[in-house]
Structure 1
Amino acid sequence: MTGHTENSLGASLELQARQPAVDEGRPPLLFVHGLGHGAWCWEHWLAAAAEAGHPAYAVSLRGHGGSPGRLRTARLGQYVDDVVATAESLPRPPVLVGHSMGGLVVQQALARYAARAAVLVAPIPATPAVPSLLEIARRHPLDALRIVGGGSLPLRAEYLFRELGDDDARRHTDRCHGESAIVQYQLLFHRPAGPPLGDPPVLVLATPDDALIPLRGIRATANRYGATLEEFPGMGHDLMLDARWREPLDVMLGWLRTAL
């Protein structure tokens, strides 16, 4: 089911939702996508989380997916506003689940919103993402120059997937789009988020074979939050879409059963 919620300015944001057959009171999950993606990228995890008994929601940040808004002028703090407003609109406080850029958005949202827990999926680290730019430059120097020049990072299949078939990979990359140049600069130079409200438990899911985010920064971020870190060798940056997407999802669902 796809509906809409309002952000802090009253703009309507796309909100995809899946409900369990029986609501047994398990905490809702609010999924936050990464750079150039939308709520659509959580299609596998949304359905499987609902089957496991969790009300599951995925928001498209302003200018992404089916949400309105000017992408060119969007700022990282506005994405945080979108997540906090969406979380506050849900019937019960959710677990925040953020991928890549969305993982950094969740880190910043935790400083403003007392979430039940948080899951960071291949997140932009708590520290500036300059190592990611260097990794991109090593693989595709012109892509790095494009970012520095204010263009969007081309979301190539080789950046996102390691095991997914070519047809499925193309289907996903065709749905990706550009990103705010302002936000891309902010990712490179941001300051660490403030401490989380309420000291929620945190899980970090990552892959040592990530083509966009070096694992060292992700491990440091896990240490900063006292988080459990689980790694999935052989998978690509888009853990929720690569061929073995169910493995990190099952780890997350098992962790939620014990952490909450």
Structure 2
Amino acid sequence: MDTPIVFVHGTNAGPWTMADFTGYFAERGLRTLAPAYRHHDETISGETAELLVGTGIDDYVEDIATAISVLDTAPVIVGHSLGGVIAQILAARGLARAIVLLNGSVNWGVLPTTDGERALAKRLMSAGPFWEGTLLPDFDTMSEFGLNKLVPAEQRRVFDQLGPESGRVMFELFFWMFDDNQTTRIDYQSIECPVLMVSGTEDLAVPPSTARLIAQRHGAQTTFLEVPGFGHYLMLEPGWRQIADLCAHWLLESIG
């Protein structure tokens, strides 16, 4: 396969979360690219947080669109969490040959299906008007909803690398029903490329029951794989290579 693969990270994170996957495909002779959203590839600091104030998901979409514009062909876009939303938006623009959503976040119009998702949203609500500033990750929340399949020492190691995130981004992602701009609304009918959705059974942030609602909106070109025992940060979990193998096999079958 000569199609480049672009890896797109989630909130509060950076390209480092996709490093194992990037290395896995690069070792197989494929061109890989792992761009960062603005202010997500820098040392965590108060200044970084200030720069993020007012930044929206549309800005991140343009960051990734700019990064892939230098490629000579439409890439495969592999997105984790928020990166999955961005992959779909770019695919709807005709900028992807295929997309892979690794526990992709919810899109506009997709309601939570579990008490856990609602509890996570309530924790954000308790932060006050967070959309006006930035949000730092909370260890208890991350260890419960994002890093629940890692041992405590690994939870802390990963958490310590996370940084601030734009409150507006979190608002657009979790409270899409109040977003007048409908930022995460996906034009599903404009996505003509193959779609793979990988959903961990232990993902409490975007559980399979919710992910399936997104898959249904995509229709027949979508392959939905529910993988037992994986949580939200499946690409950082001990069995990540199993997920990479699944993606590689699907890509070989889907686009050669």
Structure 1 length normalisation: TM-score? 0.81
Deviations 1:161-182 (A, max 9, x none): 3332322222111111121111
Q: Distance in 2 between matches of 1:123 and 1:61?
A: 17
> Which residue of the partner structure matches residue 94 of structure 1?
75
Partner SS, residue 246 of structure 1: helix
Q: Specify the code of the residue in structure 1 equivalent to 2:224.
A: L
Q: Distance in 1 between matches of 2:52 and 2:94?
A: 24
> Which residue of the partner structure matches residue 249 of structure 1?
244
Shift of the 91–147 alpha-carbon distance from structure 1 to 2, 3 Å rule, reads: farther
Q: Where does 1:109-148 land on structure 2 (aligned, <5 Å)?
A: 109-128=90-109, 131=112, 135=116, 138=119, 142-146=123-127
Q: How many residues align?
A: 236
> Which residue of the partner structure matches residue 175 of structure 1?
161
RMSD: 2.6
1:40 positional shift: 0.7
1:60 positional shift: 0.8
Structure 2 length normalisation: TM-score? 0.82
Q: Distance in 1 between matches of 2:85 and 2:62?
A: 13
Partner SS, residue 197 of structure 2: strand
> Which residue of the partner structure matches residue 194 of structure 1?
187
Q: Specify the code of the residue in structure 1 equivalent to 2:194.
A: P
Q: Specify the code of the residue in structure 2 equivalent to 1:171.
A: R
> Which residue of the partner structure matches residue 15 of structure 1?
none
Partner SS, residue 225 of structure 1: helix
Partner SS, residue 257 of structure 1: helix
> Which residue of the partner structure matches residue 18 of structure 2?
42
Partner SS, residue 213 of structure 1: coil
2:86 to 71, 86, 105: 105
1:236 positional shift: 1.1
1:205 to 2:198 alignment: yes
1:157 to 143, 149, 169: 143
> Which residue of the partner structure matches residue 17 of structure 1?
none
Q: Distance in 1 between matches of 2:118 and 2:21?
A: 31
Are the counterparts in 1 of residues 85 and 106 from structure 2 also a CA contact under 8 Å?
Answer: yes
Are the counterparts in 2 of residues 162 and 242 from structure 1 also a CA contact under 8 Å?
Answer: no
Are the counterparts in 2 of residues 111 and 194 from structure 1 also a CA contact under 8 Å?
Answer: yes
Q: Distance in 2 between matches of 1:89 and 1:32?
A: 16
Q: Which runs of 5+ in 1 are unaligned?
A: 1-24
Are the counterparts in 2 of residues 161 and 235 from structure 1 also a CA contact under 8 Å?
Answer: no
> Which residue of the partner structure matches residue 179 of structure 2?
none
Are the counterparts in 2 of residues 136 and 143 from structure 1 also a CA contact under 8 Å?
Answer: no
Q: Distance in 1 between matches of 2:122 and 2:191?
A: 42
1:82 to 63, 66, 69: 63
Identify, as 1 or 2, the structure richer in helix. 2
Q: Distance in 1 between matches of 2:103 and 2:8?
A: 12
Shift of the 89–132 alpha-carbon distance from structure 1 to 2, 3 Å rule, reads: farther
Are the counterparts in 2 of residues 75 and 182 from structure 1 also a CA contact under 8 Å?
Answer: yes
> Which residue of the partner structure matches residue 27 of structure 2?
51
Are the counterparts in 2 of residues 162 and 235 from structure 1 also a CA contact under 8 Å?
Answer: no
1:66 to 2:52 alignment: no
Identity %: 28
> Which residue of the partner structure matches residue 28 of structure 1?
4
Deviations 1:133-192 (A, max 9, x none): 963553695454127644525262232233323222221111111211111111121452
